[in-house]
């Protein structure tokens, strides 16, 4: 019976792979539609205010270790969620979960996170 017990957790970690494979365009688009709900939060005045508050708090300085770029053009700055909110309202609106990143660092970080998410599934 010991064997069974060790196999079970493995199955649980493998399962999500079935529903979602990298390159499965249909699934990706469907999941994107499901995200439309929280994506619209980014369009609210509340978010614009919070974003600006974070950028000012961090002095328009990229918080990425080793970067520290000061960017005067706020369109080149991103208020990034340190812990991905994945639709969690509390995390989304939590100012302490936000940091100012330059666009370059933000894009690099997101790409890395996505790769990590894939490989850990
Ligand atoms: Zn940066």
Q: Containing H/E element for 68?
A: none
pLDDT grade for 17, boundaries at 50, 70 and 90: low
Instruction: Give the span between the Cα atoms of 119 and 121, in whole angstroms.
Output: 5
CB 54 within 8 A of CB 95: yes
pLDDT tier at 3, thresholds 50, 70, 90: low
Q: Which of 85, 104, 105 is nearest to 94 (CA)?
A: 85
Q: pTM above 0.85?
A: no
- 28 CA from centroid of ligand 1 (Å): 28
Residue 7 in this model has a pLDDT that exceeds 60: no
Q: CA 26, CA 43: separation in Å to the nearest integer?
A: 25
Q: Could you tell me the distance, in angstroms and rounded to a whole number, from the CA of residue 111 to the centre of ligand 1?
A: 14
Which residue, among 90, 88, 101, 89, has the nearest Cα to 54 in the 3D structure? Answer: 101
The average pLDDT across 80-103 equals 96
| pLDDT over 90 at 6, yes or no | no
Largest Cα separation within the chain, whole Å, is 63
Detail the DSSP E strand segments found in the chain: 77-81, 98-102
Residue 80 Cα to ligand 1 middle (Å): 11
């Amino acid at each position: 019976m010991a064997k069974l017990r060790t196999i079970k957790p493995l199955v649980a970690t493998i399962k999500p792979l079935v529903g979602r494979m990298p390159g499965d365009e249909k699934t990706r688009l469907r999941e994107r539609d499901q995200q439309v709900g929280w994506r619209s939060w980014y369009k609210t005045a509340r978010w614009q205010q919070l974003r600006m508050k974070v950028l000012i708090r961090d002095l328009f300085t990229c918080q990425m270790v080793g970067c520290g770029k000061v960017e005067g053009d706020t369109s080149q700055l991103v208020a990034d969620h340190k812990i991905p909110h994945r639709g969690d309202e509390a995390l989304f609106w939590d100012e302490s979960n936000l940091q100012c990143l330059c666009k370059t660092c933000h894009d690099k970080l997101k790409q890395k996170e996505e790769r990590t998410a894939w490989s850990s599934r």
